[in-house]
């Protein structure tokens, strides 16, 4: 299939400029975005203390006084998952405790994927053994760029087998794949290999998630569902920093895939700073003003 690049760009611009959620209707949509958030830290200086703060925020992402003022004090809201490097999974397991919040680990030589195939498989297995219930793998971009789709399928099937009971989220690194047609094909191969989610980016590329590539990937998910009857989730990641952007992605999902996908089981937003802006916007809706920086700290 060849993607109509001009058509995709026009549709993405329309979503950015003409379709939005306004006024009081934003509050439930933003709370839904929080529940679909993969709260992430992928820094070289992550420590057990960093992970402790991350997990505490994951379990209570919105301050109780804000929820009470908005009339949602009885809502048990948590994020969709916490996402960390494999070496920090055991820390997450400890600090998450009895919470049902999934632990996601990036793997397979994240972010570049430039390690041997057997080492990628071992990294996946170890992360699962340490307690990860979701594995965010990076696809071998060289195979997609060379059009070696059969080999890409085989390697992804190996990753799927290594994940065992854990969900596999496949990161395309769309900023490095270039053409939208290639992004569509890579999405289809990932789903054929058994991916539970397809994800736009590592967050480390020069270009990360945007509405154009997200629209192409969501249409691939729709095409795959129509052919197979299997629902695959979507995770835009990288560069999503504002509540306004989060709402744009929710609108895209609703219009392209339907309400069934507006659920943490089929939608995740990968971000490290997005929650801060969403909580600021909810604070404004609750109290009529924006908080100072010291009132809205993040881990």
Where in the sequence numbering do the catalytic residues fall?
A: 199, 235
Bridge partners, residue 270, by sequence:
38, 237
State phi, psi for 161 to the nearest 5 degrees. -65, -40
Pairing relationship of beta strands 269-271 and 167-171 according to DSSP bridges? unpaired
Query: Nearest to residue 60, comparing CAs of 48, 75, 40?
Result: 75
Rounded CA separation 89/7 (Å): 42
Rounded distance between C-alpha atoms, residue 234 and residue 265, angstroms: 9
Measured between alpha carbons, how far is 117 from 159 in angstroms, rounded to an integer?
Answer: 9
């Amino acid at each position: 299939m060849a993607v109509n690049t001009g058509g995709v760009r026009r549709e993405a611009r329309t979503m950015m400029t003409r379709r939005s959620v306004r006024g009081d209707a934003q509050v439930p949509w933003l709370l839904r975005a929080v529940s679909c958030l993969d709260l992430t830290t992928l820094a070289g200086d992550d420590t057990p203390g960093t992970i402790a703060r991350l997990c505490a925020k994951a379990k209570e992402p919105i301050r109780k006084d804000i929820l009470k003022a908005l009339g949602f004090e009885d809502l048990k809201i948590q994020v969709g998952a916490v996402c960390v490097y494999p070496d920090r999974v055991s820390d997450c397991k400890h600090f998450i405790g009895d919470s049902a919040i999934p632990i996601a680990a990036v793997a397979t030589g994240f972010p570049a994927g430039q390690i041997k195939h057997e080492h990628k498989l071992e990294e996946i297995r170890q992360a699962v053994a340490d307690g990860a219930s979701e594995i965010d793998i990076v696809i071998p971009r060289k195979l997609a760029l060379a059009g070696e789709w059969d080999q890409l399928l085989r390697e992804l099937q190996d990753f799927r087998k290594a994940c065992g009971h854990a969900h596999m989220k496949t990161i395309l690194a769309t900023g490095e794949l270039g053409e939208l047609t290639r992004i569509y094909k890579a999405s289809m191969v990932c789903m054929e290999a058994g991916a539970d989610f397809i994800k736009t980016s590592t967050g480390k590329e020069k270009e990360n998630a945007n509405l154009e590539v997200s629209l192409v990937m969501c249409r691939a998910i729709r095409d795959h569902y129509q052919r197979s009857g299997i629902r695959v989730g979507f995770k835009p990641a990288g560069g999503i920093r504002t509540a306004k952007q989060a709402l744009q992605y929710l609108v895209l999902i609703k219009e392209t895939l339907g309400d069934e996908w507006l659920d943490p089981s089929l939608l995740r937003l990968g971000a490290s700073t997005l929650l801060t802006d969403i909580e600021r916007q909810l604070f404004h809706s609750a109290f009529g003003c924006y908080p100072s920086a010291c009132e809205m700290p993040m881990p």
